[in-house]
Structure 1
Amino acid sequence: MFTSVEDAPSVFPFGTIDFSFNKLKGAVPLVVADFLDYSNNEFSEIPLNYTLNLSSNMQTGYLNLSSNMLTGEIPSSICEVNISTLDLSYNNLSGSIPSFIIGSRDMWVLSLRGNKFSGILSHHINRSCSLVILDLNSNNLEGNLPRSLTNCKDLVFLDIGNNHIGGTFPIALGKLPNLQVIILRSNRFYGTLGFPPNFGKMNSLFPLLKIIDLSSNNFNGSLPPLWFKNFKSMQNSSSDAILGGVSIFEINGISVTIMDKGAQMTLENNLPNLMTLIDLSSNRFIGDIPETIGELKEIKALNLSHNFFTGSIPNLLGHLMQIESLYLSWNQLSGEIPQELISLTSLSVLNLSFNHLVGRIPQSNQFSTFQNSSFEGNPGLCGVPLSKLCNVQILGNNSTSPSTKPAKKMTAIVLLCLFIGLGFGTGFGIAIVILVIKRARNAHATR
């Protein structure tokens, strides 16, 4: 519950200072240290000459001011010393993001999420860029993603979700050799995911990718099957996760926020062991779901909901033995639910609702645990957990089901044989009786 800190003499530099989770207010104190954690306080100001008081010999400097009440712009002096990790997330900082802060040769980790930064990102990122983690989620950034971001050869983690950034999909990022996470959700991206002409070797893009989130944009067109053949890390668990030489200590405090199993999920301090996830929901994709997705045997979550996919559910999705959540709802999928899906024993969440699926719902393994909401909005489906039984089927506008036709045919044959057996005379007598009864009814009706 500390509320203030006195300035420490600069002649006595500290190695590590951790003042996090207190009630410290006012300007950030001028304390000299290599590792400074001021997170979760109530600081409101960063002094303009703040970094002049930091250790001039910092090689792996760490400065964490996240979750405070900081306002204004980032002072230019912030990069006058060797800060390798800068976390200013969850404050009220505004203005544009300085170009030097992204292209710094010393900075490995930069997190500015949850602020009010606006404008466009600089398109002049230096080739000396050393960024491994760049998190700009939840700001008011506009414009296009700079192509010069490919100068950050060590980039592993890129999150620019929840902004106003547009343009076509940045396919050039696929050439970054270490990229594992790319989150573009809730922006203004548009266009197809196809490969531009002469883009080099298509089978060498995104080799280490583990998380790709393109949800809530304006992407359209069909999904190229070759796209998923590139994701080698999702196909084989032996793919090595490379963090560009940054240890777990340096990435401490950085988190990944994704949507999984119907809720927001945060993965903290676990970048080397990220779950594998593809989220393409809430776009305008059309056509068939590529069967090549079935080759991504390490994937844990797949969300293709709220699109315009047609055709049937690929049988090869039954090869995704590690998958825990599968969302295909709100599309135009047809046909039966593949029996191959009953082999997905790790599947804990399934949503196939609001499509055009037909037939009996599989009853084995995990399917016995799913609720009605997993299948609702498919009038052609029947069986548990739905209340509609599968023993009566209605085809088109014909009220006579196929199962009743053989019975009627058999009845006609029996009656024919009966008349033949009784003989012509008896049959003629019965016919006369029927005509008399019919005339009597007609006479009664005219009265």
Structure 2
Amino acid sequence: MNILHHLSLPLFNMRKADHRQPAESAGYKICLVRMFFTLFTITFASTEEATALLKWKATFKNQNNSLLVSWKPSPDACNDRYGVVCFNGRVNRLNIRNASVFGTLYAFPFSSLPFLKYVDLSMNNLFGTIPPEIGNLTNLIYLNLSVNQISGTIPPQIGSLARIQALHIFENHLNGSILEEIGYLRITDMKHNNLSGTLPTTFSIGSALRSFNLDGNKLEGKIPQFLENCQQLEVLDLGDNLLNDTFPMWLGTLPELRVLSMRLNKLHGSIRTSGSEQMFLELRIFDLSRNDFSKNLPTSLFQHLKAMRTIDQTSKEPRYLGDSYYHDSVMVSSKGLELELLQILTIYTTIDLSNNKFEGYIPSIMGDLIALLVLNLSHNGLQGHIPPSFFS
């Protein structure tokens, strides 16, 4: 039996066997040429991306990183490399979270990865600053540099990334002010840094902001009323800062607000609500502890809080605030201990007004909050007895 070892059919030697019309044959050839050119372009781009990633890895202080052993010389950046995900032959996602990376971002191939949409470098040992070249990642949607040793200021180039929706840079050593452009993001988590200055005021009507966490910084000034434009806002955590203001009752008009934490600031005065019945309808976590609020407890506020008045018995599985990319977190106090809820159960409810200057009696209407799990009114000037409604 004869075995075919080689078959060569060059495109321009097939004319005798091609019975199609000249125009159709020419179109077929053009299509093949375009396909070849596209394949060549993708292959060339993939090779460039592979080389660029290896150059960045070469700057790591720990070259024997076991998780990145798959990052070997190869013309294909998409060839089974740990944490690298491609789409149409181009690097689309880079997820080397908690991979023991010890190095900087200075040699990161920002300009060589134009199709990169998702970057997660969190929980490593990255140090140094965030290079301005990060602005070259024009398709970036998600950026997570959290839990590292990154210092310096937030480069303004991040604010020019038109498609970015989620920015997580918490637990670093960042300083300076917050970019005004942050108001256009969907999720912003910058907690536990050294950021200073005032809160941005660029929260325009129609803002898509859903989660805004700045806990544990050095922010001062007032709470901008422009936040009431963020009608999709679910989580607002401004705790452990230097904010000096009265209680922003206008936040009660936000229809989706579930978590409001302003603990450990310099907020003061009495808490008064409007006559509207549509106030804080979805609020589940309410923390104003360790401020300078005074006068009586806000009875009119407790008349609202619809989500704390009913118990959801339809949900059979635990649900958390957040989405597939991100779970919201918040600091709470329980039995004298500070705890960080890394994920927030939708059924978790708490009111913490401790360590203020409230006086008078505990309103009996608080007993109507039957879904309330944790109530802390300690270290105030309250008097009287616990209302009987608490036991019914």
Report the TM-score when normalising by structure 2. 0.72
Q: Does residue 275 of the first structure (1) align with residue 348 of the second (2)?
A: yes
Contact kept, 8 Å, 1:136 with 1:159, in 2: the verdict is: yes
Q: Find the counterpart in structure 1 of residue 246 from structure 2.
A: 168
Identity of matched residues, %: 32
Residue 141 of structure 1 aligns to a residue whose secondary structure is strand
1:73 CA displacement: 1.1
* 1:274 to 1:81, Cα distance in 2 relative to 1, 3 A: farther
Q: Find the counterpart in structure 2 of residue 213 from structure 1.
A: 287
Contact kept, 8 Å, 2:134 with 2:158, in 1: the verdict is: yes
Q: Does residue 70 of the first structure (1) align with residue 154 of the second (2)?
A: no
1:114-263 → structure 2 map (5 Å cutoff): 114-195=192-273, 199=274, 201-238=275-312, 248-252=323-327, 254-263=328-337
Distance 2:344 2:109 in 1: 32
Q: Find the counterpart in structure 2 of residue 49 from structure 1.
A: 133
Greater shift, 289-298 or 76-85, is seen at: 76-85
Distance 1:204 1:240 in 2: 24
Contact kept, 8 Å, 1:182 with 1:211, in 2: the verdict is: yes
1:149 CA displacement: 0.8
Q: Does residue 85 of the first structure (1) align with residue 166 of the second (2)?
A: yes
What is the identity, as a one-letter code, of the residue corresponding to 2:323?
I
Residue 209 of structure 1 aligns to a residue whose secondary structure is coil
Aligned residues: 302
Residue 66 of structure 1 aligns to a residue whose secondary structure is coil
Distance 1:117 1:12 in 2: 39
What is the identity, as a one-letter code, of the residue corresponding to 2:101?
K
Deviation readout 1:347-387 (Å, 9 max, x if unpaired) = xxxxxxxxxxxxxxxxxxxxxxxxxxxxxxxxxxxxxxxxx
What is the identity, as a one-letter code, of the residue corresponding to 2:307?
S
Distance 1:229 1:239 in 2: 22
Q: Find the counterpart in structure 1 of residue 378 from structure 2.
A: 305
* 1:240 to 1:277, Cα distance in 2 relative to 1, 3 A: farther
1:262 CA displacement: 2.5
Contact kept, 8 Å, 2:257 with 2:280, in 1: the verdict is: yes
Contact kept, 8 Å, 2:361 with 2:383, in 1: the verdict is: yes
Distance 2:313 2:281 in 1: 9
Deviation readout 1:412-444 (Å, 9 max, x if unpaired) = xxxxxxxxxxxxxxxxxxxxxxxxxxxxxxxxx
Q: Which of residues 101, 115, 118 is equivalent to 1:35? A: 118
Deviation readout 1:226-246 (Å, 9 max, x if unpaired) = 2111000000124999xxxx9
Q: Find the counterpart in structure 2 of residue 427 from structure 1.
A: none
Distance 2:283 2:313 in 1: 10
Distance 1:135 1:93 in 2: 15
1:42 CA displacement: 2.1
Distance 1:36 1:124 in 2: 26
1:30 CA displacement: 2.6
1:223 CA displacement: 1.4
Computed over aligned residues only, the root mean square deviation of the Cα atoms, in angstroms, reads: 2.6
Q: Find the counterpart in structure 2 of residue 329 from structure 1.
A: none
**Which structure's CA Rg is the greater one?**
1
* 1:138 to 1:239, Cα distance in 2 relative to 1, 3 A: farther
Q: Does residue 288 of the first structure (1) align with residue 361 of the second (2)?
A: yes
1:12 CA displacement: 5.4
Q: Does residue 17 of the first structure (1) align with residue 101 of the second (2)?
A: no
Distance 1:212 1:292 in 2: 17
Contact kept, 8 Å, 2:181 with 2:202, in 1: the verdict is: no
Residue 70 of structure 1 aligns to a residue whose secondary structure is strand
1:368-383 → structure 2 map (5 Å cutoff): none
Residue 307 of structure 2 aligns to a residue whose secondary structure is helix
Contact kept, 8 Å, 1:62 with 1:85, in 2: the verdict is: yes
Distance 1:87 1:248 in 2: 14
* 1:292 to 1:261, Cα distance in 2 relative to 1, 3 A: same
Residue 167 of structure 1 aligns to a residue whose secondary structure is coil
Residue 132 of structure 2 aligns to a residue whose secondary structure is coil
What is the identity, as a one-letter code, of the residue corresponding to 1:165?
L
Residue 202 of structure 1 aligns to a residue whose secondary structure is coil
Distance 1:64 1:317 in 2: 44
Distance 1:257 1:231 in 2: 20
1:410-429 → structure 2 map (5 Å cutoff): none
* 1:279 to 1:247, Cα distance in 2 relative to 1, 3 A: closer
Distance 1:186 1:214 in 2: 8
Contact kept, 8 Å, 2:272 with 2:300, in 1: the verdict is: no
Contact kept, 8 Å, 2:357 with 2:380, in 1: the verdict is: yes
Distance 2:204 2:148 in 1: 30
* 1:164 to 1:240, Cα distance in 2 relative to 1, 3 A: farther
Distance 1:279 1:270 in 2: 16
What is the identity, as a one-letter code, of the residue corresponding to 2:205?
R
What is the identity, as a one-letter code, of the residue corresponding to 1:222?
N
Deviation readout 1:53-111 (Å, 9 max, x if unpaired) = x253x5xx22110011111111111132311111000111111101111x21xx21100
Residue 27 of structure 1 aligns to a residue whose secondary structure is coil
What is the identity, as a one-letter code, of the residue corresponding to 1:163?
N
Report the TM-score when normalising by structure 1. 0.63
Distance 1:13 1:263 in 2: 48
What is the identity, as a one-letter code, of the residue corresponding to 1:214?
L
Structure 2: gaps (5+ residues): 1-59, 79-85, 316-320
* 1:3 to 1:83, Cα distance in 2 relative to 1, 3 A: farther
